[in-house]
């Protein structure tokens, strides 16, 4: 299952893959969200945190290729922070091997670590990320 939580005015987004399955529609929604993020006006640093929960299936080769293509022209003023296990980090490595990133890419062991990384990259606290994270988790509970 894919959940998106966005603060368009601040160019912040939480992407959450959770649960035991992802549909093609979930991956398409994620790809579409990447496109929307690229179009958000931003004077500073866009911040996107992708959380892949343990047990959530990873994208197949077709979707890895689509994700690589969608993220190929993300501007340098964008930070992607991946929260996930070794397999999720491996998929990110494969995607970035297909197409080297044009943006800042970091990995984190937990959302709390990702929030600290975002604070450091932005140069000040980014409290809206924490609210977006809570919204995404709440939406996931409502769907489950």
pLDDT surpassing 90 at residue 14: yes
State the pLDDT at residue 144: 72
Burial label, 34 (beta-carbon count in 10 A; 0-12, 13-18, 19+): buried
Token duo for residue 5:
């939580």
Segment 63-91 mean pLDDT: 90
State the pLDDT at residue 134: 98
Residue with tokens 């929604």, as numbered in its chain:
29
Q: Which stretches within 40-124 are classed as H helix? A: 61-70, 86-98, 111-122
User: Exposure pattern of 10-31 as b/e (b: 16+ CB <10 Å)?
Assistant: bbbbbbbbbbeebeeebbeebb
Number of domains in the chain: 1
State the pLDDT at residue 90: 81
| For the chain, percent of residues with pLDDT exceeding 90 | 74
Kindly indicate the confidence band of residue 76, based on its pLDDT and cuts at 50, 70 and 90: very high
Domain that holds residue 71: 2-143
With 0.85 as the threshold, say if the pTM is over it.
yes
pLDDT digits (tens, 9 = 90+) for 95-141: 777 778 889 999 898 999 999 999 999 999 999 999 999 999 999 99
* Domain CATH code at residue 79: 3.30.750
């Amino acid at each position: 299952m894919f959940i998106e939580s966005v603060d368009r005015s601040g160019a912040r987004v939480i992407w959450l893959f959770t649960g035991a399955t992802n549909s093609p529609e979930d991956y398409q929604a994620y790809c579409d969200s990447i496109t929307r993020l690229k179009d958000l006006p931003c004077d500073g640093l866009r911040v996107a945190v992708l959380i892949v929960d343990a047990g959530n299936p990873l994208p197949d080769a077709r979707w890895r290729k689509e994700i690589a293509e969608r993220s190929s022209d993300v501007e340098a003023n964008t930070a992607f922070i991946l929260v996930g296990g070794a397999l999720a980090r491996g998929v990110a490595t494969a995607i970035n091997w297909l197409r080297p990133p044009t943006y800042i890419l970091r990995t984190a062991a937990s959302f709390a670590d990702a929030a600290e990384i975002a604070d450091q990259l932005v140069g000040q606290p980014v409290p809206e990320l924490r609210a977006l994270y809570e919204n995404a988790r709440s939406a996931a509970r409502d769907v489950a």
